[in-house]
Amino acid sequence: MTFGHPYFLLLGLLLPLLAWLKGRRGSPPAFLYSSVKLVAGLAQARRSQAGNILGALRWLTLALFIIAIAQPRLSKSTTEVKASGIDIVVALDLSGSMRTPDYQEYGQGVSRFDMAKSVLKKFVQERPDDRIGLVVFAAQAFIASPMTLDHDYLLDNIERLEIGTINSDATAIGDGITTALNRLRDLKSKSKIIVLMTDGANNSGKIDPITATEAAQALGVKIYTIGLGNKEIVQRMGLPPGFLPDEDTLIKIAQMTGGQFYRGDNSEKLRTIYDEIDKMEKTEAVVNKYTQFKELFPWFLTTGAGLLLLEIILGQTIFRRLP
């Protein structure tokens, strides 16, 4: 057990002094009677212990109150949190074309969206020391998770994502980059990066992707771009070119900010992409320690208040004294 304000315990040293001062006797109190016969029955009476009991309750109450204001507490756990100095925002496309099942896993077709979620969760799990945020975009862009070191919370938010949560009829890449930038612009981290995952071309939103990239360039934010979708399977399915990423724009975005473009056209390559990003974005970790406390002062305060109430009740009832 530790104390938040241990210096208040010094007040406890005053209790013996106060008890000694209170216990000093002056002239013994006396009643005057006109005849000894009036008090003949008191000869066998014994001294009452009521005063001692009430006094003990008072001193115990004061001691408990002193301990309470010293803030006693138990250390429940000490957690070390490592912060690498890298802040990452993942901007994930949630447009309708992300339902296209042109990835293969265990011999079965898997949608771009499910594949992207799978590799993203693995990436988050392998970077426990980074603050990571999540932005999703389709016709509009929204924050799915703020920047956080609580990766369990982040993984839960990734798991809850579904196509159709926002208007999935279009792809606003520029708005997605801008929303991600707004999560990073005021942070003082050593390195700030955006991982942009999309399977289409910008056809919606208020901000052009290159304009948003120029802002990222000015803020020193590096953007890694990942193009999702398998060209051969898309052609075999008879889908239009709009179901494939605008690689020229994605390459330009990465080059302007010092990042890199990746073509994630199959599941193995997509997993390798995140491994490569993981290797390139490394820095020394800063360790912060956090201790959780269980506060005990309410117990001492409540017990002291209960004893004080008991003293008052006893003093006014069975231990009542003559005025």
Amino acid found at 253: I
Q: Which residues contact 3 (CB under 8 A, 6 or more apart)?
A: 9, 70, 71, 72, 73
The separation between the first and the last C-alpha atoms of the chain, rounded to the nearest angstrom, is: 44
CB 83 within 8 A of CB 285: yes
Mean pLDDT of 287-303: 76
Contacts of residues 50-54 at CB distance under 8 Å and 24 or more positions apart, as own/partner, are: 50/314, 50/318, 50/319, 50/321, 51/321, 53/314, 53/319, 54/311, 54/314, 54/315, 54/319
pLDDT for 205 equals 94
DSSP 229: -
Mean pLDDT of 180-208: 92
DSSP string, 264-283: E-SHHHHHHHHHHHHHHS--
Mean pLDDT of 185-213: 93
Amino acid found at 55: G
- Digit-coded pLDDT (tens) for 133-185: 999 999 999 999 999 989 999 999 999 999 998 999 999 999 999 999 999 99
For helices 112-125 and 151-160, angle between their N-to-C axes, nearest 10 degrees: 180
Q: Is 77 strand, coil or helix? A: strand
CB 137 within 8 A of CB 172: yes
Q: Is the pLDDT of residue 64 over 90?
A: no
**C-alpha span between 170 and 222 (Å, rounded):** 25
Q: Which helix H or strand E contains 103, and what residues bound it? A: strand 103-105
DSSP 57: H
- Digit-coded pLDDT (tens) for 95-133: 999 999 999 888 889 999 999 999 999 999 988 888 899
Q: Is the pLDDT of residue 261 over 70?
A: yes
Mean pLDDT of 315-320: 72
- Whose CA is closest to 287, among 77, 2, 75, 78? 78
Angle at 159 between CA 157 and CA 163, to 5 degrees: 95
- Whose CA is closest to 62, among 314, 300, 321, 295? 300
Annotate 46-58 with b (16+ C-beta within 10 A) or e (fewer): eeeeeeeebeebb
DSSP 163: T
Q: Is the pTM of this model over 0.85?
A: no
Q: Is the pLDDT of residue 45 over 60?
A: no
pLDDT for 55 equals 75
DSSP string, 3-42: ESSGGGGGGGGHHHHHHHHHH---SPP----S-GGGGGGG
DSSP string, 108-160: EEE-HHHHHHHHHHHHHHT-TTSEEEEEEESSSEEEEEEEES-HHHHHHHHHH
Q: Is the pLDDT of residue 31 over 60?
A: no
Amino acid found at 315: G
Q: Is the pLDDT of residue 322 over 60?
A: no
pLDDT for 257 equals 96
Q: Which helix H or strand E contains 264, and what residues bound it? A: strand 261-264
Rounded to whole angstroms, the maximal C-alpha distance in the chain is 125
Lowest mean pLDDT among 27-36, 141-150, 201-210, 258-267: 27-36
Q: Record the tokens describing residue 232, joined without a space.
A: 């051969």
pLDDT for 44 equals 56
CB 250 within 8 A of CB 206: no
Mean pLDDT of 73-81: 68
- Residue scoring higher pLDDT (62 or 80): 62
Do strands 141-148 and 286-295 pair parallel, antiparallel, or not at all (unpaired)?
A: unpaired
